[in-house]
Amino acid sequence: MSLTTITVEEGPSLATRVALAGLTIDLDPDSVANLQRELDDKAPQVCPRCSGSRFTDGSRIHECPTCSGEGWVR
């Protein structure tokens, strides 16, 4: 299954709806926050020192193989 679009909106019942490729799932606000953290952790990141190598393993601290710049926190 490939994920193309995620839409998050606040519903009238305070449940949050997440649309995943046409499938709608009701989630509480804590679940949405956890989902957002997971998505952020897996997003491609760029070294702030050299704007080079993308680092995508979800770690918040890394050493850039291009410039050896180390340790930034998103």
**Would you state the pLDDT for residue 43?**
63
| CA–CA distance, 18 with 5 (Å, rounded to integer) | 10
Asked if 33 and 41 count as a contact pair (C-beta separation under 8 A), the reply is no
Over the chain (74 residues), the average pLDDT of each successive run of 10 is 57 53 72 78 67 56 64 45
Phi and psi dihedrals of 35, rounded to 5? -60, -45
**Would you state the pLDDT for residue 13?**
46
**Would you state the pLDDT for residue 73?**
41
**Would you state the pLDDT for residue 12?**
45
In terms of pTM, does the model score above 0.75? no
